[in-house]
Amino acid sequence: MTGIDFIFAIAVLIMSVVFHEVSHGYSAYLLGDPTAKYAGRLTLNPIKHLDFVGSLIVPAITYLLGGFIIGWAKPVPYNPYNLKNQKWGPAIVGASGPLANFFLVAVFGLLIRFSSFLSFLPPAFWQIAILIAFINLILGVFNLIPIPPLDGSKLLFALLPYQWRHVQDFLERYGFFILIFFIIFFLRLLLPAVLSLFKLITGVAF
């Protein structure tokens, strides 16, 4: 990946994580919590969502470590106590982010899969489409990891029986450090699975 390619990848990543976070905010709003709306975060304006570490520093580090980029935006605030469904509401809000990424994967992945019918589009379009599909697939899979503050932890906590709440307490307390450890030492292990999924969806192999 050249310097220009990396800049394009960062731009796609930023727009993807913004779409991810806004999806959280809208799902919370639809479930009865207006916190994100009052905070002015139900917007696709990236300036409202950028996180210096998650949107710039971490993507650069993960690229150097594994050859692909991962990152995040500032989490959209929401109050779980305002949600209509107290048990599954946080899980639904959590799942909406990865689902937004997988939606983009499906749209651009299918365009790539059937690109032979769209040969009138310029090569640059397909380069960007592949980048969007690939980065959003990484984001969707990454965010399903059940380590706080990732969205997969919300799904895990909704499924945990009450007697295992000590597991939730431990993960909420130390999750960030566990996540950093995971990113440094184990994130690259996800790459073969992501590449296989990408080929299955798009027909393109790296």
Is residue 151 within 8 A of residue 100, CB to CB? The reply is no
Cα–Cα distance measured from residue 124 to residue 50, given in angstroms and rounded to the nearest whole number: 26
Catalytic residue check, 21: yes
How many Å is the maximal CA-CA distance in the chain? 59
Indicate which residue of 17, 18, 21, 112 is catalytic. Answer: 21
CB 20 within 8 A of CB 41: no
Three-state SS for 85? coil
Neighbour tally for 171: CB within 10 Å: 20
90 preceded by a cis bond (ω within 30 of 0)? no
Q: What residues are annotated to the active site?
A: 21
